[in-house]
Chain A
Amino acid sequence: MRMRSIGLASVVMVISLTALSSAVSTARPKFYRDDPLLREPESQDAQKAERSDIGDLYEMMYNLFVNPRYKPSGTRARNLNTIDEVPDSSWFTNRIGARTLTVDEVVRGPIVGDPPDPSRWTIIREKDVGVHPGVTARDANGETWFLEFDPSYYPEAATAAVVMATKFFWALGYNQVESFLTTFDPARAAFAPGATIRRPNGKRTPFTRDDLNAVLEHAARRPDGTYRVVAGRLLPGKVLGNFRYEGTRPDDPNDFVPHEQRRELRALRVFGAWLNLTDLKSANTLDTLVTENGRSIVKHYLQDVGSTFGMCNDLHEWDLSWEHFYQGNTTVKRFVSFGFALSPWQTVKYVEGPSIGKFEGDRFDPRTWRPQTPTTAYLELRDDDAFWAARRIAEFSDETIRGIIHTGEFSDPSSEKAIADIVIKRRDKILKVYLPAVNPIVTPALDENNRLTFENAAVAADVAKAPEAYRAAWRQFDNATGETRPIGETTSGTASLEAPRELPTENGSFVAIDISADSPAWGTPVRTYFRRDGDVWKLVGLERMPETIATRVAGSSVKSETQAR
């Protein structure tokens, strides 16, 4: 009996401790004084991070044959601040959409240094990433560059794609390599004394003129014997290999959000569809260890964005952007029909031109666009992630797009125009698909006269009609307990609503407002939170979609979307 009593008492104690601990943990406020966070801190030193690369074969097999059985979590991205935005980080910098970028700024893109001096290239080794021919070389100033040539069948197209894509992705917020269009004259090329190339036996031996000739044989040669190249500047810091589209780096303490839960990586499905980034894979990314503010941090780059626009790995790849390398449903369809069940890529009309490649916008549908293989982050995309991405794309004006495409330096103006027209067409399709797909209330503000104003991103982009009315349900919000108390409801035919009279006035008080529209698609309210800071209301929270939504296994969604097409 005694033993039984002590045992019972112990259980009670454990229960009380547990209950109190959980009470402590749930007592965390919903909003902190520094919300919304504008920069994701890197508080720990990552100097022990080591190089790790992902094998091409492994990544391809995993993405093609494991990921189709992946069931997306359906959860909201986990690297967002409280107003549903992605804070700046070692992954991402808010640029277009967060501030006004001039056309000149976007056209300059990631470039901060001087272009290479191409008067004499000194080759130091082969180019070991990407499918198009290239070498690693030092320019006449002794700076190291990665040179990539146009394949013979796509003169100007591959080099232009790299330059243009780096500017788009830079403006979208990603870390990019500084890339310049320049010239390579083999007659004036030299070989560094220690220049080597990896041979089939796995060993490195001296880089020879014949090795260079082997590269140039596959490159588009100009009539004067020179070659147009895109030169990518060597990234600063210690190379740590590729980042993965799922999980975290186990050697980076600051990397605590699984990559598939990072919105900017999920959103590459939308940005990739827009710019046709078909080779979306870890092998085209790079982590480097750099020192910032006296601390080693890991910086994450989209390193190779050259498989964009009309570029593909080979002249005869017609299915790129329409199908993954392998899809079960299309395999079965073509198998049983002896190929007569045609897939869209077999009949789609591309704009003709070797400097354009295979690019089109008429049959493009961002929902059915496919990279070569699906990454986990790609599969995790939710409508709110896509909406976030579409808003950034909406910020690219026709003028900005044409300005970027002009940096491709096409000798044929019609190629430049054709690519720009297609990018604009694809932009408009993305906006039409993703902006109205969720309640598109953005930039809510509560002014000193207690008037709530906001914008409708879909209406502003002219891809949806304004609703008959907007409705706002007002609640007082207790930041400590999370409890709400209804204050009242107001409606308006415009994006401007008056607040109920009972709005709290004391400093530090919170109000939660559910904003919805008289529209079936936008009936689900966007919940916004404002905090009274002195005499003004500050937006501190925005929730566009539930924390978790129902999902299906990835392969089944591929099937249904393809069939819908």
Chain B
Amino acid sequence: MDAGRTWRIVAIAGVVAGLGRAAAAQSLEPQSREAVVEEAQAARIANLHPYAPAKGERLMDKAEKLLNGTTPSWHPFFESAYRGGGFALGAGYLQHVSSFNFVDVRGSYSVSNYKRAEAEFVAPRLFHRRGELSVLGGWRDAPETHFYGVGTDTTLEDRAFFGFRESHASALLTLRPARRLLMVRGGFEVARWSLDGGTGSTPSVDNVFTPVTLPGLGTTTTYLHTRATAGFDWRPSAGYARRGGFYGVTAHDYHDRDNQLGFRQVDYEVIQHVPILREAWTLSLRGIARTTALKDGQQVPFFMTPSLGGGDDLRGFSSWRFRDRNSLLVQGEWRIMVNRYLDTAVFFDAGKVTAHTSDLGFHDMKSDYGFGARFHTPIATPLRIEYARSNEGGRLIVAVSPVF
């Protein structure tokens, strides 16, 4: 059989087969619109299966459960052991122990070798939703803490270092008798502070001061710290607010078991958020004064004195830049709602530290200004990035909490 004949036979067979198929197909063609639809529905039968979320959806669902806290979960933890420790990275594991109560075990390590490890038990719903209890135990190590001396007249060249380790255990009970507005809080803490010369490129405090010139230097002190707060809080959330305010007073008693470094401290804090044009802007104001009082024959150790400087108060200055027996800080922010998850702000901070409460006025204050962005949810501010400038230069601040 030659190739041409083969070709013809196959081609004819193909055409015949095609016609036969067409005729058969025509007899199966739907004869109504309803039949067309039914044909499309019947065609799906073979491929039916339960809905299977794609990877992205599964990840989001997991994230949602994590955010809701309904499953035991690992979570990131960015808080440093102590202010000035630089960027810290860590992790925690949260486990509910009852319907509402949970335990969170967490730790972090910072670029400045600050270390922090702690476990916290939280009972968020006590006394018919009028109370919250936190019991915390932990340890931290801050080997490179700045100290510039006492007062506001110190210079950057005065910088020295010290280090400390602290073991602590505390209980803090917060009560809202009317479930809103009025808040009272009381707590007790046992903390053991062990100071050393620290590590750093500038001199250690041991080389600059003596225990006589700097109370608390080189000591190991065990404090029994009691505290009580009374305040009015009508912010939607302390973690993020564009309206409302907080007015409160906190009294501390630091009892040194050796009766050497015991003292009392009172903090007066006022926060007011003033929404403007439907919260397009918010004028946020804060004032906080801290005063200490000596106990008979005792002194306030330098590492416990009120301080200013750092990402939460005088943001244009280094952490712990100013220390003294008393402090006053005023802050103003013009916050701009960029969208539901992002605010920007321009801000101004001013503050001072003094040896005497009578000197806590608005003159001779250190000040800074700056701007920043805050990524937030309706109740929390998980990321705050700011640039602040003072007469001592500019500083970039990255924080995982609101400034106030």
Residues in chain A within 8 A of chain B (CB atoms): 1-2, 4-6, 8-10, 12-14, 16-17, 19-21, 23-24, 27-28, 32-35, 37, 40-44, 48, 50, 52, 55-58, 61-62, 81-82, 199-203, 205, 210, 213-214, 217, 249-256, 314, 316, 318-319, 323, 325-327, 330-331, 334-335, 338-339, 342-343, 345-347
> What residues of B have a CB within 8 angstroms of the CB of A199 in the complex?
99-100
Complex Cα distance, B134 from A72, in Å, reads: 52
B interface, by DSSP: helix, strand, loop or mixed?
mixed
Q: List 5 A-B contacts (CB under 8 A).
A: A13-B10, A13-B15, A251-B48, A331-B338, A343-B280
B21 sits at the interface (CB 8 A) = yes
The answer for the CA separation of A326 and B10 in the assembled complex, in Å, is 64
Q: Is the CB of B10 within 8 A of A6?
A: yes
User: Given contacts A200-B96, A201-B99, is CB(A339)–CB(B340) below 8 Å?
Assistant: no
Determine the distance from Cα of A483 to Cα of B342 in the docked complex, in whole angstroms.
59
A203 pairs with B278, CB closer than 8 A: no
Distance in angstroms from A6 CB to nearest chain B CB is: 6
Is there contact, CB below 8 Å, between B3 and A5? yes
Q: How far is the CA of A345 from the CA of B337 in the complex (A)?
A: 13
List A contacts of B336 (CB < 8 A).
Answer: 334-335, 338-339
B202 at the interface (CB under 8 A from A): no
* Residues on B with beta carbons closer than 8 Å to the beta carbon of A325: 339-341
Q: Which residue of B lies closest to A328 (CB)?
A: B339
Q: Which residue of A lies closest to B65 (CB)?
A: A202
**Chain A positions within 8 Å of B341 at CB level:** 325-326
> Which B residues touch A57, using CB under 8 A?
60-61, 63-64, 67
* B contact residues, total (Cβ < 8 Å): 77
- Report the nearest A residue to B95, measured CB to CB: A201
Given A37-B37, A346-B280; A58-B61 close (CB under 8 Å): yes
Using A12-B10, A48-B48, A200-B99 as known contacts, say yes or no to A1 and B17 having CB atoms under 8 A apart.
no
State in angstroms the CA–CA spacing of A205 and B47 once bound together: 40
CA distance A81 to B33 in the complex (A): 9
Q: Is B297 an interface residue (CB 8 A)?
A: no
Evaluate whether A17 and B337 lie within 8 angstroms (CB atoms) in the complex, with A41-B38, A57-B60, A253-B44 already known.
no
Q: Which residue of A lies closest to B28 (CB)?
A: A24
Query: Are B61 and A41 neighbours in the complex by a CB distance under 8 Å?
Result: no
A326 touches B340 (CB 8 A): yes
Residues of chain A contacted by B280 (CB below 8 angstroms):
339, 342-343, 346
Given contacts A5-B4, A43-B42, A55-B60, contact A17 B338 (CB under 8 A): no
* Pick from A17, A41, A217, A253: contact of B21, CB under 8 Å: A17
Return chain A residues, CB-CB under 8 Å to B40: 256
Q: Is residue B129 contacting chain A, with contact meaning CB distance below 8 A?
A: yes
* A5 engages B99 (CB within 8 Å): no
A202→B44 contact, CB < 8 A: no
Inter-chain contact B18/A44, CB cutoff 8 Å: no
Determine if B3 and A1 form an interchain contact, defined as CB atoms under 8 angstroms apart: yes
A253-B45 contact given A50-B50, A57-B67, A325-B340, CB 8 Å threshold: yes
Check if B25 sits within 8 Å of A24, measured CB to CB: yes
| Per-position binary interface string of chain B over residues 46-57, scored 1 when its CB falls under 8 Å from any chain A CB and 0 otherwise | 011111110011
- Would you call A201 and B10 a contact (CB within 8 A)? no
Q: When the two chains form their complex, are residues A21 and B179 in contact, meaning their CB atoms are under 8 A apart?
A: no
Within 8 A of A (CB), among B10-29: 10-11, 13-15, 17-19, 21-22, 25-26, 29
B386: shortest Cβ distance to chain A, in Å?
15
Whether the pair B41, A253 counts as a contact (CB closer than 8 A) is yes
B277 lies within 8 A of chain A by Cβ: yes
Question: Are the CB atoms of A6 and B6 closer together than 8 Å?
Answer: yes
Q: Are A8 and B45 in contact (CB under 8 A)?
A: no
- Residues of chain A within 8 A of B340, CB atoms compared: 319, 325-326
Which chain B positions have C-beta within 8 A of A202?
A: 70-71, 96
Closest 5 CB pairs of A and B: A13-B14, A201-B96, A9-B10, A58-B60, A199-B99
Asked if A217 and B18 make an inter-chain contact with CB atoms under 8 angstroms apart, the answer reads no
Chain B residues whose C-beta falls within 8 Å of the C-beta of A318 in the assembled complex? 278-279
Beyond the given A10-B10, A19-B18, A214-B129, please list 9 additional residue pairs across the A-B interface where CB-CB is below 8 A.
A35-B33, A55-B61, A56-B64, A58-B56, A201-B102, A250-B50, A314-B378, A319-B340, A327-B339
Structural contact, A201 and B98, CB atoms closer than 8 A: yes
Docked Cα-Cα span, A338 to B336, in Å, equals: 6
B177 proximity list for chain A (CB < 8 A):
none
Interface residues of B in 265-320 (CB under 8 A from A): 275, 277-281
Q: Can you list, as one digit per residue, whether each of B325-348 has a CB less than 8 Å from chain A (1) or not (0)?
A: 000000000101111111010100
Assuming A24-B25, A40-B37, A251-B51, is B6 touching A205 (CB within 8 A)?
A: no
Complex Cα distance A82/B68, Å? 48
* A43 touching B38, Cβ below 8 Å: yes
The contact of A251 among B3, B38, B50, by CB within 8 Å, is: B50
Report yes or no: A32 in contact with B4, Cβ–Cβ below 8 A: no
- The reply to whether A201 and B100 form a contact with Cβ atoms under 8 Å apart is yes
| A44 surroundings in chain B (CB, below 8 A) | 41-42, 44-45
State how many angstroms separate the Cβ of B57 from the closest Cβ of chain A. 5
Q: Which residues of A contact B36 (CB under 8 A)?
A: 28, 32
Given known A-B contacts A17-B21, A52-B51, A256-B41, A34 and B338 have beta carbons under 8 A apart: no
Chain B proximity of A55: nearest CB distance (Å): 4
Please indicate the chain B residues that have their CB under 8 angstroms from the CB of A6 in the complex: 6-7, 10
Q: Which chain A residues lie closer than 8 Å to B52 at the CB level?
A: 250
Least distance between B378 CB and chain A CB atoms (Å): 8
Check if B69 is an interface residue, CB within 8 A of chain A.
yes
Determine if B179 and A217 form an interchain contact, defined as CB atoms under 8 angstroms apart.
Answer: yes
Q: Is the CB of B363 closer than 8 A to any CB of chain A? A: no
Contacts of B38 in A (CB 8 A): 41, 43
B31 close to chain A: CB less than 8 A: yes
Residues of chain A contacted by B68 (CB below 8 angstroms):
200
Mask of B72-105 contacts with A, CB within 8 angstroms, 1/0: 0000000000000000000000001011101000
